[in-house]
Amino acid sequence: MGAYEAAVKYTQQRIQFGKPIASFQMIQDLIAKMLANVTACQALMFRLEELHSEGKLLDQHASLAKAFTTQRMRETVAWAREVHGANGIIVDNNVGRLFADAEALYSYEGTFQMQNLIVAKAATGFSAFV
C-alpha cells in the first residue's frame, strides 16, 4: 500500500473527538495535496510512455521525471507520516518505511540537483558541469 492510500485509510479509521480525523479540515488539505502529487506523477509517467512509444524519449525527459516525481514522493510520504501522528514513526508502521524509501530513491541514480542540471542544460543549451 502506498503512502497516499495508507493515509486515507488511517484517517478514515482514526477517531479523535468522536469522529474520524478524515473529517478535519487540515487533514483533508493534506489528503488533497497528496492526491494531487500522485495524479501529477501518474500523468507525467503516461506522457513519458507516449514519448517512448513514439521514439522521442530523451535523457532530459527521464531526468525531469526523476527530479519531479521523487520530490513529490518525498512531500507525499512526509504528509502521510504527518497525518499518522506519532504512529507514523513506529517501526511496525508501513509509512515509516516508505519515508525511508523515499529518501533513498531521491538520491539513487543521481541526486535531485544533478537531474535538474541535466534538464537545465537541455533547456538553455549551457552546461553547468565543469
- Percent above pLDDT 70 for the chain: 98
User: What are the tens digits of pLDDT across the range 58-91?
Assistant: 999 999 999 999 999 999 999 999 999 988 888 6
- Catalytic-role residue among 5, 49, 50, 109: 109
pTM of the predicted structure, to 2 decimals? 0.87
pLDDT by residue (tens digit) across 95-119? 888 888 888 888 876 788 899 999 9
Is 128 among the domain residues? no
Domain count, the chain: 1
| Per-residue pLDDT, 8 | 98
Q: Is 50 a catalytic residue?
A: no
Query: Rounded mean pLDDT of 45-66?
Result: 96
| Distance of alpha carbon 76 from alpha carbon 80, whole angstroms | 6
Q: Is 119 part of any domain?
A: no
Tell me how many degrees the CA angle 92-75-83 measures, rounded to the nearest 5: 50
Identify whether 130 is part of a domain: no
The secondary structure element, H or E, covering residue 19 is strand 19-20
Q: Domain containing 99 — which CATH number?
A: 1.20.140.10
Domain with 50, as residue range(s), is 3-59+72-109
The answer to the question of residue 120 being in a domain is no
Q: Would 21 be classed as within a structural domain?
A: yes
In a domain, 97, yes or no: yes
Whole-angstrom distance, CA of residue 32 vs CA of residue 128: 37
Residue 82 contacts residue 29 (beta carbons within 8 Å): no
Structural domain includes residue 118 = no
| 77 falls within a domain | yes
**Average pLDDT value for residue range 41-60:** 97
